[in-house]
Amino acid sequence: MATRRQRRVAEQIHRELSLLLMHEVRDPRLADITITEVEVTRDLLIAHVYFTVLGGADEQEQALAGLAHAHGFLRTQVAGRVQLRFAPDLTFHIDKSAEYGRRIDDLLAQVAGSVQAKDGSEST
């Protein structure tokens, strides 16, 4: 369970990274990235940054490579904008929750379709 300070720092990092990606980073691989969540460790030394990107697996890998390339710049900028004793190390992860949600929706639609088909066949 995250402390209030962890949540506050994570929100600040989320906000600053989003602004940096929108206004200051010029890498075309990072054009369609959306930061979905930031989780900070208890000691505030590591920030796990989750993101989504439009497109398939190839675009996700390109975005991950672009973030790895921009890592130093992003960490330096976040350090200057978020008032902490130590700049947290940024680790980037592809957010799979949207894909997971779509998969659950598909499975629920299949179940609903089979139930309707079963009910329809029994009533005739």
pLDDT digits over 94-104, tens only?
998 777 777 88
66: domain range?
4-96
Which comes out higher in pLDDT, residue 118 or 81? 81
Beta strand pairing call for 33-40 and 46-53:
antiparallel
Overall domain count for the chain? 1
Answer whether residue 106 is part of any domain. Answer: no
Answer whether residue 91 is part of any domain. Answer: yes
Answer whether residue 122 is part of any domain. Answer: no
Answer whether residue 111 is part of any domain. Answer: no
Cα separation, 93 vs 88, in Å, equals 15
pLDDT at 103: 80
Answer whether residue 103 is part of any domain. Answer: no
CATH at 80: 3.30.300.20
Answer whether residue 110 is part of any domain. Answer: no
User: pTM of the full predicted structure?
Assistant: 0.79
